């Protein structure tokens, strides 16, 4: 007996409606579940904060690719933050634990878009549960020294960027997007830590060491792996940052680089190599990045409202990176309407380049290699505290870095539920 297939995309409007009906009466600034009769506030005052949220990204390909297709991708995140100064008297110390579970499919694969960067950033790393955070952080009494260690993601502290857009090239840390086989961003974590020093309140120097273990990225059994067996080397990133107040508005500028000691396959493999010889390998990989973020309008004492600009560039080494450059610019305007102070309007453009060595290998007669260019416009609506809807429109030229590919048009809806 066959059973009808249920489309999650079709369920989203019903889910949103049901959530509104059930939560509108009790939602407070804490989210859809409210203050739990005062217990939530009491727990926060004692040093315990809980977070539960679900992100849904539902996407439809309107043009381009091999076929029209829709897909849903989602992530459930459950975590807690412990203020150990309040709980146990440990000065300036906190701990965090975060579990995540992803579901859904990649719309690019379903539609045959062949993108270098995904249309729905929340997809990936397997539809499994993972330990995403398990770390301890301590800050010195004068605030100059800050150390964090445990199970962490590199993108939490290095090349870290906001993730408001849906196109992956406009969201989060760039190195994890194109050297993701050894630079692990959310939701993967590995053993490691970082040390930060502030010689001045506006300047910081940060360095980290992370275990490189591909088994943690395994989509079968890698979600809660603790054993260090399988380690292939270490990832060592460094970052110099400047956080000035320019014209009374906050800015953040950083430059950094990384070195991976793990062996990695060469980006270009000999086409006539014997199959039993295995891939040609390189020892070590490296790269660097530059970020600039600046608030352009809004009051100096209002961190939320106003226009912000963000520019980011990252590059990997030409020996081992198939995709070795990414550049993007993003403008976001918080509170574009006086009556809607929690809404956000955003527009961004991202460029992703194939490694020139790879491009030359592809450059057969009739093949035009160009950077993949993506434009995204979105508007985030804060419906009620804890429920945010963000329609988005994407236009992607040269999918896969190939100039002869038809441009793709993608429409989507990002739904964020915070309980």
- For the segment 175-206, what is each residue's pLDDT rounded down to a tens digit? 988 888 889 999 999 999 999 999 999 999 99
Question: For residue 75, which phi and psi values (nearest 5 degrees)?
Answer: -145, 130
Q: What pLDDT score does 29 carry?
A: 61
Greatest mean pLDDT among 83-87, 275-279, 319-323 = 83-87
pLDDT in tens, 129-154: 999 999 999 999 999 999 999 999 99
Helix (H, G, I), strand (E, B) or coil at 21: helix
Cis peptide before 169 (omega within 30 of 0): no
Q: What pLDDT score does 8 carry?
A: 38
Query: How sure is the predictor about 104, in pLDDT bands with cuts at 50, 70 and 90?
Result: very high
Q: Residue 68 pLDDT more than 80? A: yes
Distance CA 16, CA 342 (A): 18
Q: What pLDDT score does 192 carry?
A: 95
Report yes or no: 180 and 169 within 8 Å, Cβ to Cβ.
Answer: no
Burial 147-186 (b: 16+ CB within 10 A, else e): ebbbbbbbbbbbbbbebbbbbbbbbbbbbbbbbebbbbbb
Architecture of domain 8-271+283-418 in CATH? Beta Barrel (2.40)
pLDDT in tens, 112-135: 998 999 999 999 999 999 999 999
Q: What pLDDT score does 25 carry?
A: 37
pLDDT in tens, 296-324: 987 655 567 899 999 999 999 888 888 88
Q: What pLDDT score does 13 carry?
A: 42
Give me the residue spans of the domains in the chain.
Answer: 8-271+283-418
Higher model confidence: residue 31 or residue 372?
372
DSSP 304: S
């Amino acid at each position: 007996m066959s059973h009808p297939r249920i489309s999650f995309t079709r369920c989203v409007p019903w889910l949103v409606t049901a959530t509104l009906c059930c939560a509108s009466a009790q939602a407070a600034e804490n989210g859809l579940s409210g203050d739990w009769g005062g217990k939530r506030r009491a727990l926060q005052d004692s040093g315990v904060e809980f977070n539960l949220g679900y992100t849904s990204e539902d996407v439809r390909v309107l043009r381009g690719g091999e076929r029209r297709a829709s897909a849903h991708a989602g992530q459930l995140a459950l975590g807690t933050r412990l203020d150990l100064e309040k709980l146990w008297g440990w000065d300036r110390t906190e701990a965090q634990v975060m579990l995540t579970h992803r579901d859904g499919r990649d719309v690019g694969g379903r539609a045959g878009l062949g993108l270098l960067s995904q249309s729905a950033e929340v997809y990936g790393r397997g539809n499994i549960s993972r330990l995403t955070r398990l770390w301890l952080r301590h800050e010195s009494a004068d605030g100059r020294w800050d150390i964090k260690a445990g199970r962490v993601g590199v993108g939490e502290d290095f090349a870290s960027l906001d993730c408001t857009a849906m196109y992956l090239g406009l969201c989060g840390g760039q190195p994890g997007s194109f050297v993701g086989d050894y630079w692990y961003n959310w939701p993967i974590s590995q053993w490691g830590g970082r040390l930060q020093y502030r010689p001045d309140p506006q300047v910081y120097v940060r360095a980290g060491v992370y275990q490189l273990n591909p088994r943690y990225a395994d989509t079968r059994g890698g979600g809660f792996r603790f054993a260090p067996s399988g380690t292939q080397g270490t990832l060592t990133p460094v970052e110099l940052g400047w956080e000035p107040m320019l014209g009374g508005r906050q800015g953040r500028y950083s430059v950094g680089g990384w070195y991976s000691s793990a062996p990695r396959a060469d980006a270009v493999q000999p086409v006539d190599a014997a199959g039993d010889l295995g891939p040609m390998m390189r020892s070590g990989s490296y790269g660097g990045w530059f970020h600039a973020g600046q608030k352009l309008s809004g009051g100096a004492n209002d961190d939320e409202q106003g226009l912000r600009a963000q520019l980011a560039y990252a590059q990997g080494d030409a020996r081992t990176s198939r995709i070795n450059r990414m550049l993007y610019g993003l403008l976001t305007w918080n509170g574009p309407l006086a009556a809607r102070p929690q809404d956000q309007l955003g527009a961004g453009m991202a460029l992703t380049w194939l490694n020139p060595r790879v491009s030359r290998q592809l450059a057969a007669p009739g093949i035009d290699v160009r950077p993949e260019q993506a434009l995204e416009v979105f508007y985030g609506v804060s419906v009620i505290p804890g429920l945010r809807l963000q329609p988005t429109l994407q236009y992607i030229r040269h999918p896969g870095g190939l100039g002869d590919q038809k441009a793709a048009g993608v429409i989507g809806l990002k739904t964020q539920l915070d309980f």
